[in-house]
Structure formats: structure tokens, C-alpha cells
Structure 1
Amino acid sequence: MRAYGNCLLVLLLLSAPSHAEARLVFSAFPDQGLPLFQICKRILVEAYGELGISIETRAAPAARALQYAERGLNDGELCRTSLLAEQRSDLLLIRTPLFESYAVAFANRPLQLRGWSSLKPYLVGFERGKAALELRLKGVRMSPSNGVENGMRKLAGGRVDVHVEDYYSGMCILRQSGIRGIQPLHPVLERFSMHHYLNPRHRDLAPRLEEVLRHMAQQGRLQAIEQQVLREAGLDDLSLP
């Protein structure tokens, strides 16, 4: 009986680390119903699944979510633009992009815009904590909002002149909320590659995940997931901005 108990204890001790490492938690924006989040999560659920790892997301305002990832309070960031790697962050960039986000200015009246510098005459809204937008909007009068819908309602109420947002996220909110009179302006301000980021303690995992994502991209799986999410959101009728 004692020998059986000792064997059982050894088995439990040996198995504990693998169970602890089989689940990772990532920071994410709070608007988890939006296409941007759903595309990233579905791709990464599938990719990590190939490695025998399950993932969860922990929603928080954009700035706080990034702090959680950088301080090691979770395992990384679900997805951010490639610009994050060019800033102060120590997070590990996974080089294969998950998809491309289109930064678009939304407005409730016709405006002639061409590039970020053309926003300078206006009061510009954007979602607080989105580092790439904060970087591009330096020198512009800014009015951050707490979430995409809040930003669109500020625009509808005339509290800002334009709101800069991911094209599909903005269109999704407009259709779901029933907010009228707001349109995306063309051309696109910038196309951002969206990437997954890992906390440095997972440095050994990064190349294995990179290999899986690269294979998924080559097989067309990343694009297939993106299109599926857009169909489910009722946005597949939209042409690229």
C-alpha cells in the first residue's frame, strides 16, 4: 500500500508541470464581439491547439491590457500592430501577421482627408490605449474614448469631428448599434499588420508557434478564418476600403 502511494505521488509530481504549461492566458481588448478580436482568437486557438496548448483571454481596456502582458501578469497580448515591437515593449513579436487592419477615419459629414497629417484641423476620437493610433496622432487634437461604440456615439453627438477606427470594427458597431449618418472616409489612413505577442518567459515557445502560423498562412487557413468571421458578423458584403 505504501509503495502504491509513493508511485502515485511520483506520477502526480511528474504530471504537474505539463498541466501547468498547457494553458496560456492573453490580454485582449474589451470589445470581444468585434471581428478584430474574433479573427485573432480563432487563429490562435487553432495554432496553439496544434501544439497541445489551450488559450484564454482576459479582457481589459487597451492600455491596461498591454500593462498586464508586459508585467508578466499573463502570458502575452492576443494581437497588436507591428508598431508595438518598435516601441519600448519587451514583448516577443510573432512575425507571421494574423491579418491586416485598416485604419479609417469615420465622420458624419464629407471631409477631404489624405494621410494622418490631414487630420490636424480636426478634433479626433480614437479608442484609448491603442498605441499605434496614439503614435500616428501625435500633434493632432485628440479625444480618447472608452471603447469603439462610445467613440462612435461621441462622433454622432458632435463631440468630435472624426473617429479613427479599424474599418471592420467600426462598421460592425454602426450596424449593431443602429447609429445613423456616419460613414468611413476614403482613402484608408494606414494598413496595419496585426501580430501576436508573447511574454519573454515563453521565448522557447515562440519559434514553434511561428512555424505553425507560417504553415497556416501558406495553406490559406488564416484568410479562410478571417472570411468566416466576417460572414458571421454580416460584413462579408463590404469591399475592402
Structure 2
Amino acid sequence: MKTLGQFVLQGAGQCVEYIEAPVKRTEALIRNGMLDGDLMRTKIWADQNVDTVVYVPTPLYQDEIVAVFVKPLSQSLGSLNDLRSKRVVITSGHRWAEAQLMQRGITPVMASTYGHFMEHIHFGKVDVGLIEKSSLPMLGEEPNVMTKVISPIQFHIVLRKEHEDLVPSLDTALKRIKAQFGLMQN
């Protein structure tokens, strides 16, 4: 994503220094003005921080949210609404899943690591976990565990509000680059 982000920002005539930092750290850095933006944030996060940030409308990347569960549960899961009667674990900092679950009256169990996430599932502390499909390799090989796609999730470039004037040029550059490389669905 960093490479795609670099193409987009260069395509909009911007020169940017990139840093890699944990999710919660970047949130704090953006809020206190130490970072000007982030390449991978959900619209939900941007809406929760509307006083501080704006987002580029065209998503930089689209992933899928998958349900992770022990085999017998698979028939009863097809959408986020099917989680209403389930105990659900998510990884800490997963704002999109937290907001989607709260909208459905579900208070998720928070796991601080992928290992804790899987422990909750294996030991029956929860019925199901939610995670991005791109993060599945972090869980390792799990022979008794299945996954099922539940929902798409889109990630956007977000900027601090003082850079709002850059949004149209970034959106145009992103659309152009995605079309050029056949990435409109990603």
C-alpha cells in the first residue's frame, strides 16, 4: 500500500515523508498534529474524528472482513447481522469492526494480539472472531478453524483538516492510477 500511496501522492504533486508506526500511535500522532495523514483508515474512523481529519473519497484499498470460527458455526453466518446472538472477538484498535458490532448491539471482546484472538476462539470464550482477510496469514495454520467472508471494508487516505484542499487532487490521482493499473476493485 505504501507504494500505491507514493504513486498517488506524487501524482498529485506532493512530496511526502513516510513513517511506519502502530495503529494507535498513528492515531495519536494525527490527532495532535505530529502526522499530516495516514494511508490506511476506514471512513468510520474518519467520521469518528471529523473534527480533525478529512478522507479521500476513492478508497486506496479494499479488503474483506472474515469471520473466524470453529467448523460447526459456518451455516449460520452470512452477514454482520448474523452475529447478533454471538460472542465476538476482535483485535484491539479495529475501529471498523467495533463500530459495526456496536450498531448491532454487540459488545465485542477485545484481544491485544493475534495469539489472544485465536485463544478466545479455540477455548470457546467466543463464538466467532472478525479480522481482515489480508491479516489471515498472521493467524498461522489452524486446522480446526474456518473462515467466511462477511463484509467488504474500504481503506482511505486521511489527512488532517488543514490539508483539505489536497483532497480533490489526491482523489483524481488515485482514480487515474487505479484505472491505469486495473486496481479499481482493490
Considering Cα pairs closer than 8 Å and 6+ residues apart, tell me whether 1 or 2 has the greater RCO: 2
Question: What is the number of equivalent residue pairs in this alignment?
Answer: 180
- Structure 2 residue corresponding to 1:163, chosen from 129, 141, 158: 129
Q: Which has the larger radius of gyration?
A: 1
In the alignment, the residues of structure 2 paired with residue 73 and residue 97 of structure 1 have an alpha-carbon distance, to the nearest angstrom, of 24
1:133 matched to 2:97? The reply is yes
- Structure 2 residue corresponding to 1:173, chosen from 138, 160, 170: 138
1:219 Cα shift?
Answer: 1.3
- Give CA-to-partner distance per residue, 1:167-223, whole Å, 9 cap, x none: 2312x223xx333321102xx322122111011222233332222111112213536
Query: What is residue 81 of structure 1 aligned with on the other side?
Result: 42
1:160/1:42 Cα in 2 relative to 1: closer, same or farther (>3 Å)?
farther
1:92 matched to 2:54? The reply is yes
- Structure 2 residue corresponding to 1:116, chosen from 66, 70, 80: 80
In the alignment, the residues of structure 2 paired with residue 123 and residue 199 of structure 1 have an alpha-carbon distance, to the nearest angstrom, of 36
Structure 2: gaps spanning 5 or more residues: none
In the alignment, the residues of structure 1 paired with residue 41 and residue 83 of structure 2 have an alpha-carbon distance, to the nearest angstrom, of 23
* SS of alignment partner, residue 72 of structure 1: coil
- Give CA-to-partner distance per residue, 1:4-38, whole Å, 9 cap, x none: xxxxxxxxxxxxxxxxxxxxxxxxxxxxxxxxxxx
1:136 Cα shift?
Answer: 1.0
1:44 Cα shift?
Answer: 0.3
- Give CA-to-partner distance per residue, 1:45-80, whole Å, 9 cap, x none: 2222343524313312x3443232122121112212
In the alignment, the residues of structure 1 paired with residue 107 and residue 158 of structure 2 have an alpha-carbon distance, to the nearest angstrom, of 30
1:192 matched to 2:153? The reply is yes
1:144 matched to 2:102? The reply is no
For 1:120, the aligned partner's letter is R
TM superposition score normalised by structure 2: 0.82
In the alignment, the residues of structure 2 paired with residue 136 and residue 163 of structure 1 have an alpha-carbon distance, to the nearest angstrom, of 13
For 2:143, the aligned partner's letter is R
1:149 Cα shift?
Answer: 4.5
1:88/1:48 Cα in 2 relative to 1: closer, same or farther (>3 Å)?
closer
Q: Tell me the C-alpha RMSD between the 2 structures.
A: 2.4
- Asked if the contact 1:45–1:55 (Cα under 8 Å) also holds between the matched residues in 2, the reply is no
In the alignment, the residues of structure 1 paired with residue 112 and residue 99 of structure 2 have an alpha-carbon distance, to the nearest angstrom, of 18
Query: What is residue 12 of structure 1 aligned with on the other side?
Result: none
* SS of alignment partner, residue 152 of structure 2: strand
Moved over 6 A (4+): none
1:207 matched to 2:165? The reply is no
* SS of alignment partner, residue 204 of structure 1: helix
For 1:161, the aligned partner's letter is D
- Asked if the contact 2:69–2:145 (Cα under 8 Å) also holds between the matched residues in 1, the reply is yes
1:76/1:149 Cα in 2 relative to 1: closer, same or farther (>3 Å)?
farther
1:55/1:110 Cα in 2 relative to 1: closer, same or farther (>3 Å)?
farther
1:223/1:181 Cα in 2 relative to 1: closer, same or farther (>3 Å)?
farther
- Asked if the contact 2:39–2:60 (Cα under 8 Å) also holds between the matched residues in 1, the reply is no
1:103 Cα shift?
Answer: 1.2
